[in-house]
Amino acid sequence: MHSPVFRDMFKLPQSDTGKKSVSEFNPDNLDVVRMPDNGYQFIYFLKAIYERSFFQANKAVGFSDEIATSIIVLADKYDMQDLYREATHRLSGLPYSTTFAAFELRQACPHTTAQAAHSPRTRRVNITLEPFFLINAARRLQTRELLKMLPIAFYFATSMTAEALTDGVARKVLHKTLGEYGREVLDPEDARRCIEAKPKLVKASQDATRCFSLDTANLSPACAAKQRRSPCRVALERLSQAAAGADLANNTSPLKSREGWFDKRCTDAPMNKLCKDCQAHIKRLHKEAREKVWNDLKKLYDLEAWP
């Protein structure tokens, strides 16, 4: 792990050590280069370099998007490519998937990182998403890796409270003696994108759950072709009533899979059970609708020419 920026700093002319004065902040008379970087970001950056255990996958602190983006910003600035790649890899292990298939896999293990999802030795960690850090880092750096995560970051940001969208979120404090680090606030244009996307996501949720409605198109072709009221038609009618009662459509989470709810509904009682072909048909429609939402995220948030 090296940085050509830090390497070249040692080529700068050094001051005459005999003329330096001792101060409270420099008791050893060392040459000091004052950095313009944010202090809270620099702490995470140094910890990632000097305390490798701080960055291990089995540490809860390693799953913070705030920490990862802080390291990414400074690793990019100081051209530490190895550290940049490691931090972006860990960030993608959070729910900031770059493909729909990865997002689907991530939903199956919501409390662990993607890299650790299949490891029985990895303990479950509650992850608090703070997508503002990723959005702001992407706005600043505009690197390919961060831009690929941007649509899903905006999607998660939209579900945050109106207060958070306008006032930002508090940065974490590693130690109380270090004081407050202030708040991470979205650019006004990005906050506007999130606010304007809310009704669009509700509409997308309605589209993604239309497969549970009373429509013969939601039955398998064989069952839909039957003239009389078949058991699957009766089951679909009850399914649509249950979906309305569960209020699956009126939310801003159209990417959320409802397969678990659907499977439970089909197994609760024989009268609710659709045939296997109809179940597979509805699941396929649900997945296709959600995948369409995924593919439309960039357009939904007007990210084609972002920022």
Residues 6+ apart with CB under 8 A from 243: 209, 212, 213, 249
pTM over 0.85: no
Q: Give 109's pLDDT tier (boundaries 50, 70, 90).
A: low
Enter the tokens of residue 199.
């009704």
Does the pLDDT of residue 18 top 60, yes or no?
A: no
Q: How confident is the model at residue 174 (pLDDT cuts 50, 70, 90)?
A: low
Shared-domain flag, residues 40 and 160: yes
Helix (H) or strand (E) segment spanning residue 184: strand 183-184
The answer to whether residue 110 scores a pLDDT higher than 90 is: no
Q: Which residue has the tokens 């397969």?
A: 259
Tell me: the pLDDT tens digits for 260-290? 999 988 887 666 789 999 999 999 999 999 9
- Tell me the C-alpha distance between 91 and 71, whole Å: 10
Instruction: Name the domain count of the chain.
Output: 2
150 occurs within a structural domain: yes
Residue 16, domain member (yes or no): no
Name beta bridge partners: 183: 170
Domain that residue 241 falls in: 206-300
Q: What angle do CA 187, 155, 182 make, to 5 degrees?
A: 40
Same domain, 119 and 252: no
SS3 of residue 103 by DSSP = helix
pLDDT tens digit string along 186-238? 999 999 999 999 999 999 999 999 999 999 999 999 999 987 778 899 999 99
pLDDT band at 12 (very low <50, low <70, confident <90, very high): low
Establish if 169 belongs to a structural domain: yes
Q: Is 273 part of any domain? A: yes
User: Do the domain assignments include residue 195?
Assistant: no
d(Cα 195, Cα 165) in Å, to the nearest integer?
8
pLDDT tens by residue, 142-162: 999 999 999 999 999 999 999
Does 26 score more than 70 pLDDT? no
Closest to 197 (Cα-Cα) out of 250, 133, 252, 153:
252
With respect to residue 41, please indicate whether it lies within any of the assigned structural domains: yes
Q: Are residues 257 and 140 in the same domain?
A: no
Identify whether residues 157 and 220 lie together within a single domain. Answer: no
Task: Specify whether 255 is located in the same domain as 162.
Answer: no
- Cβ neighbors of 7 (< 8 A, separation 6 or more) are none
Residues 172, 293 within the same domain: no
